[in-house]
Amino acid sequence: MSDALHISEKALPGGLDIGGVRADFPILQRSIHGKPLVYLDNAASSQMPQQVIDRLVHYQTHEHANVHRGVHTLSQLATTEYENARHKVMNFIGAADAREIIFVRGTTEGINLVMHGYGRAFLKEGDEIILSAMEHHANIVPWQMLRDEKKVVLRIIPMDDTGELLLDEYEKLFNARTKLVAITHVSNALGTINPVREMIATARQHGVPVLLDGAQAAPHLPVNVQDLDCDFYVFSSHKMCGPTGVGILYGKAALLEKMQPYQGGGDMILNVTFERTTYNEIPYKFEAGTPAIAAGIGLGSAIDYITGIGLERIAAHEHALLNYATEAVRDIKGLRIIGTARHKAAVLSFTLDEIHPHDIGTILDHQGIAVRAGHHCAQPVMQRFGVAATARASFAFYNTFEEVDALVAGIHTVQKVFA
């Protein structure tokens, strides 16, 4: 079976054929509480097109065996397809070498791998790591664990009231002890697109490697790791129309080769005796145990799907949705948008009068509208803006302007209930 796309050709090259795209996503046809589903929780997890679902079914039906092990046909086939997916990821993010693409469980595991393989191996007491004030807990907690273990110091780039990082302050954080910068490319709670190219250039002047958390960026804007010149880039399959359970750590080969393995086990070794073990080459050195094979192949299929539409086209459509939504909610009395950076991905985080976001989320859900309510695993961001939680609508390329209208109507209903 090929991964060929049947995205309607009439959409190319101009805008998005939204009807054709939506027809690819079976879940978008269902209803919730008797209302058509309006799925606006894409920053938490995106939905899966039929092409990817079919790919998973095809793999399990015709191709499954363990990878990198057997000489039999199915094992060869599974290995080929799995390694094809690795190449698709390489091309998707513009990496130079497939050996730089490590399959992990998700963004969180990717960051933990770098903490363990790079941080624990090379950082010493008094060394410093620069994080930003808008990080997801996944890019805070691993470094705190390292801080407690190695007595390293965490320095935090502050942000302004719009949710933009203060670059002057960032530059001031560097000194001879700075050993790593770990920042998000796009904020999950605020939508801010950080000027990472500029920030990496600054780090480069100080000879400091940079890890980018790309979980919210990879599905929504074109990413080229060589062009950015980042040292590590991590992202998750399930936020870009792929299955859960797989994510990617990109790392520059020279760094990965120096790093210590993250987990021990099968697949990551060349030779094992009870005296000593020789580790496998990268990327396998970091891939102990049987991986999520179907999920990895599914991610490859999701990349085919997304690149078939085109990330420029996706970004343009989502940007139009964000602008439309931002304008539409501006007139809602009592609504405060949290995160108003100049460069934003399609994330609309907001509070509404004194109404708790969980009440907003419950009432919207009963109108079929799925949003996230809570602290978005970014409690320091909530503290920075003086709120306990926000409601967050996050858009994908399969969302429509009509769905934005439904959200606005839904917010009015919330206000009516609490009037």
**Residues labelled as active-site residues:** 377
User: Could you give the dihedral angle defined by the CA atoms of residues 396, 138, 202 and 168, in that order, rounded to the nearest 10 degrees?
Assistant: 90
Contact 157, 188 (CB under 8 A): no
Q: Between 319 and 356, whose beta carbon lies closer to another protein?
A: 356
Q: Between 251 and 374, whose beta carbon lies closer to another protein?
A: 374
Burial tier of 240 (Cβ tally within 10 Å: 0-12, 13-18, 19+):
buried
State the nearest-atom distance from the C-beta of 358 to another protein, in Å: 4
Q: Could you tell me the maximum CA-CA distance found in the chain, to the nearest angstrom?
A: 73
State the nearest-atom distance from the C-beta of 136 to another protein, in Å: 14
Q: Between 185 and 372, whose beta carbon lies closer to another protein?
A: 372
Which residues, listed in sequence order, are joined to residue 129 by a DSSP beta bridge?
154, 180
State the nearest-atom distance from the C-beta of 353 to another protein, in Å: 11
For residues 398 and 19, give the distance between their C-alpha atoms in angstroms, rounded to a whole number: 9
State the nearest-atom distance from the C-beta of 33 to another protein, in Å: 8
Chain CA centroid to CA 78, Å: 26
State the nearest-atom distance from the C-beta of 390 to another protein, in Å: 10
Find, among 282, 114, 125, the residue nearest to 182 by Cα: 114
Contact 268, 249 (CB under 8 A): no
Q: Between 101 and 360, whose beta carbon lies closer to another protein?
A: 360
Q: Which residues contact 87 (CB under 8 A, 6 or more apart)?
A: 98
Neighbours of 358 (CB within 10 A): 12
State the nearest-atom distance from the C-beta of 413 to another protein, in Å: 8
Neighbours of 251 (CB within 10 A): 30
61: which DSSP letter?
I
Q: CA separation (Å) from 154 to 96, 127, 362?
A: 31, 9, 37
Find, among 88, 308, 223, 227, the residue nearest to 235 by Cα: 223
State the nearest-atom distance from the C-beta of 406 to another protein, in Å: 15
280: which DSSP letter?
P
* φ, ψ dihedrals at 56, nearest 5°: -65, -45
Length of the chain: 419
Binding site for another protein (CB under 8 A): 33, 355-359, 362-363, 366, 373-375, 379, 382, 388-389, 417-418
Task: Read off the amino acid at residue 322.
Answer: L
Find, among 136, 115, 113, the residue nearest to 185 by Cα: 136
Reading the block at residue 60, the tokens are 């399990």
For residues 337 and 352, give the distance between their C-alpha atoms in angstroms, rounded to a whole number: 9
Q: Between 159 and 389, whose beta carbon lies closer to another protein?
A: 389
For residues 180 and 208, give the distance between their C-alpha atoms in angstroms, rounded to a whole number: 6
Q: Between 279 and 418, whose beta carbon lies closer to another protein?
A: 418
Reading the block at residue 294, the tokens are 């179907």
Q: Between 359 and 405, whose beta carbon lies closer to another protein?
A: 359
State the nearest-atom distance from the C-beta of 374 to another protein, in Å: 6
Q: Between 37 and 153, whose beta carbon lies closer to another protein?
A: 37
